[in-house]
Structure 1
Amino acid sequence: MPCYRCGARQIDPVRGASPWKRAVRREAQVLVCPDCQRVHDLDLDTCASCGSIALICRLGEIECRSCGEIRLARAGEPLVAAGSSGPPGATGSPGPSGLSGLAAEVEAALSRVLGRP
């Protein structure tokens, strides 16, 4: 998964903790690269109770890692709203094969590896 903000791909980490951070944006799990973490206007979701951006999204729930509050995520919301700018392929608009962004990339990679036309 690339950085939601700049589109940089995560590379194999050196030993130890990854410098990439997980966050929630528009109720979807995203990754933030070390360079983008330095930017103060990341437009990330915050906890309604404590205001923290230390959120994780899993199994349809969003949990605050600071205070522990858990709430249900709204299903069907787009990752990036129409008309907003984001990294290529993050808009959810279908590509030439009818698939959106990352799904189209995965389909193309599988086709190359498996020798599909």
Structure 2
Amino acid sequence: MPCYRCGVRQTDPVRGVSPWRRGVRRERQVLICPSCQREHDLDLDLDRCGSCGSTKLICRLGEVECRSCGAVRTAEADADEWPSLLRAGTPSLSEEVEAALSRVLGRHPTR
């Protein structure tokens, strides 16, 4: 899953805690890259818990859970509200995989 703000994808994880942050926006789980965490006030973009106001939410199996107070509710997002995660000019995952395989295997891209 790419960063919801800039579209960059996570690279192979290093040992330890991930610098990426999870959040919920428009009732959907999103990831936030370290750069966007530094450059933007994400608390303005992310959904908040209805009980305690925290932005430390996770979304799974149609439910949104607050990591601060433990409140759980049903996610009720309309699919039409969810913005596309693919930005213009950002390669798709399949294009990224093809390019990585070409680099590793020494192939030239076919076009």
What TM-score comes out, normalization by structure 1 length?
A: 0.68
* Structure 1: unaligned runs, 5 residues or longer: 90-101
Letter of the 1:18 counterpart: S
Matches within 5 A, 1:70-85: 70-77=72-79, 78-80=81-83
Residue 2 of structure 1 deviates from its aligned partner by 0.6
Report the counterpart of residue 97 of structure 1 in structure 2. Answer: none
Count matched residues: 93
Report the counterpart of residue 4 of structure 1 in structure 2. Answer: 4
Residue 50 of structure 1 deviates from its aligned partner by 0.8
Report the counterpart of residue 67 of structure 1 in structure 2. Answer: 69
Residue 40 of structure 1 deviates from its aligned partner by 1.1
Deviating beyond 4 angstroms after TM superposition, the runs of 4 or more aligned structure 1 residues are none
Report the counterpart of residue 41 of structure 2 in structure 1. Answer: 40
Where 1:29 maps in the other structure, the secondary structure is: strand
**Bigger helix share:** 2
Letter of the 2:66 counterpart: C
Report the counterpart of residue 87 of structure 2 in structure 1. Answer: 88
Of residues 51, 55, 58, the one that matches 1:56 is 58
What TM-score comes out, normalization by structure 2 length?
A: 0.71
**What CA distance in whole angstroms lies between the structure 1 residues aligned with 2:77 and 2:60?**
12
**What CA distance in whole angstroms lies between the structure 2 residues aligned with 1:53 and 1:43?**
9
**What CA distance in whole angstroms lies between the structure 2 residues aligned with 1:87 and 1:40?**
22
Is 1:27–1:73's contact at 8 Å kept on the other side of the alignment?
yes
Report the counterpart of residue 15 of structure 1 in structure 2. Answer: 15
* Structure number with higher relative contact order (C-alpha < 8 Å, ≥ 6 residues apart): 2
Identical amino acids, percent of aligned pairs: 60
